[in-house]
C-alpha cells in the first residue's frame, strides 16, 4: 500500500509536521481535506513519483501524525498556509515555485496559498472545492444557517465537543466510512442523534475503490487523534472571513485546473454550477485553464477515479 513512500517529521511554523514523500524532480505538494490524511493521495504519489516528480503529502495541522495545537483559533487559513510555506522552505529551499494539488479543505487551503503567496505556486490543480469569493456583507456561517438550517453538517461542527461526542458514540471507524462512502449529491445533514441517518447496526458497504484495510488506516489514525483538529478548520470559517478582509475582490493569479465530480455535494450546492460555468470563477481566477466535470464521480474523486485524476495532473503540469 505504501511501497517506497518515505515518512519523516519536519519542524515548521512552531509545530512538528509529518510528511510522506516519494520521487525525484519538480515538487508536487498534495494537500488533503477532511476527514482525510496524507494517505488520501496514495494513488497519486505512486503514479506521479514514477513520472519524474517529487511528491510530498503532509498531514495538515491537527491531523494524523502532525501536531494538533489545543487552541481552536490556531487553525485559521493563515496558520495553515504558514505551515505549508515553512514546509516548502525547509524541504525545498532552492525551488522558488512548486506544483500544488488540493482536495476538499486542502483545496480551500490551496486557494488561500495561491492568494497569499502566488509567487510560490507554479500551477494548481484543485479538486472538489471551488474557489468562493469573499462576500464583505455576510459572514459565512450566517449564510450557511440561512440557506441550510442548523442541522447542516458545517453548522453542526461549530460547537466544540458537541459533534465529537456523537462521533464517539458512533465509533471512529464507522464515522470515517460514513464520510468516505457518502454519495448523495444533496447537502449533508447531521441531525442530533440520527447517526448519519443509518441505524448503527446497519452494515456499510464499501465501494470497489475503498478496502477494509484502507479504512483501518484512517480509523487507526483518527482513533489516536480524534476529530477535533480537523473540525477546527470549520470552526474558523467566520474568523477566516474576518482576517481576509484585505483580500476582498482579489483575483488568484496562478494557472489553475479545477476538477469536480457531478455527484459531489459541492458541485450541487445552490448557485455553484452557474458560478463555475457562467464566468464567475473565470473572473476570480483569470488564469483558469480548464474545468473538468467527471460524470458519475462523487466527493473523493482522486480515490474513486485515480487513473483519470493522475492523467489530468500529468497532462496539466507537463505544460509548465
**Which residues have a catalytic role annotated?**
104, 234, 299
What is the spatial distance between Cα 12 and Cα 156, in angstroms, rounded to a whole number? Answer: 31
Measured distance CA(206)–CA(292) in Å, rounded: 26
Q: Which residue has the cell 488520501?
A: 40
d(CA 84, CA 109): 10
Q: Angle formed by the axes of helices 42-49 and 306-318, to 10°?
A: 50
d(CA 198, CA 191): 12
Show the DSSP H helices in the chain as ranges: 42-49, 77-91, 105-116, 140-148, 153-156, 162-170, 172-180, 212-225, 228-234, 237-243, 272-277, 280-284, 301-304, 306-318
Q: Give bridge partners of residue 12 from the DSSP assignment.
A: 15
153-158: long-range contacts at Cβ-Cβ below 8 A with a sequence spacing of 24 or more? Answer: 153/187, 153/188, 153/189, 153/190, 154/234, 154/237, 156/190, 156/192, 157/231, 157/234, 157/235, 158/234, 158/235
- Largest Cα separation within the chain, whole Å, is 53
CA nearest to 181, candidates 204, 165, 163, 161:
204
Q: Which conformational region is residue 243 in: left (phi greater than 0), alpha (psi within -120 to 50 degrees), or beta?
A: alpha
Tell me which DSSP letter residue 258 carries.
Answer: E
Nearest to 93 by CA among 173, 169, 164, 12: 12
Amino acid at each position: 500500500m505504501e511501497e517506497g513512500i518515505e515518512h519523516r517529521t519536519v519542524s515548521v511554523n512552531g509545530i512538528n509536521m509529518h510528511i510522506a514523500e516519494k520521487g525525484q524532480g519538480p515538487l508536487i505538494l498534495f494537500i488533503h481535506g477532511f476527514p482525510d490524511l496524507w494517505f488520501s493521495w496514495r494513488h497519486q504519489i505512486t503514479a506521479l513519483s514514477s513520472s519524474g516528480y517529487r511528491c510530498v503529502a503532509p498531514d495538515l495541522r491537527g491531523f494524523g501524525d502532525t501536531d494538533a495545537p489545543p487552541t481552536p483559533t490556531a487553525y485559521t487559513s493563515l496558520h495553515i498556509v504558514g505551515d505549508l510555506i515553512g514546509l516548502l522552505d525547509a524541504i525545498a529551499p532552492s525551488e522558488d515555485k512548486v506544483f500544488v494539488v488540493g482536495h476538499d479543505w486542502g483545496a480551500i487551503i490551496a486557494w488561500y496559498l495561491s492568494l497569499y503567496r502566488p509567487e510560490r505556486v507554479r500551477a494548481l490543480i484543485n479538486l472538489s472545492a471551488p474557489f468562493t469569493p469573499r462576500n464583505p456583507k455576510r459572514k459565512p456561517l450566517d449564510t450557511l444557517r440561512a440557506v441550510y438550517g442548523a442541522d447542516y453538517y458545517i453548522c453542526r461542527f461549530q460547537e466544540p465537543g458537541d459533534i465529537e461526542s456523537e462521533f464517539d458514540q458512533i465509533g471512529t471507524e464507522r464515522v470515517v466510512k460514513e464520510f468516505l462512502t457518502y454519495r448523495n449529491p444533496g447537502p449533508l445533514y447531521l441531525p442530533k442523534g440520527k447517526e448519519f441517518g443509518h441505524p448503527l447496526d446497519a452494515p456499510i458497504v464499501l465501494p470497489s475503490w475503498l478496502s477494509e484495510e484502507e479504512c483501518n488506516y484512517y480509523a487507526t489514525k483518527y482513533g489516536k487523534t480524534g476529530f477535533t483538529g480537523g473540525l477546527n478548520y470549520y470552526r474558523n470559517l467566520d474568523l477566516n472571513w474576518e482576517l481576509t478582509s484585505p483580500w476582498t475582490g482579489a483575483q488568484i493569479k496562478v494557472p489553475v485546473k479545477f476538477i469536480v465530480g457531478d455527484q459531489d455535494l459541492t458541485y450541487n450546492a445552490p448557485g455553484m454550477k452557474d458560478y463555475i460555468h457562467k464566468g464567475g470563477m473565470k473572473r476570480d481566477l483569470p488564469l483558469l485553464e480548464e474545468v473538468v466535470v467527471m460524470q458519475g464521480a462523487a466527493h473523493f474523486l482522486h480515490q474513486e477515479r485515480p487513473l483519470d485524476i493522475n492523467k489530468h495532473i500529468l497532462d496539466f503540469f507537463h505544460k509548465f
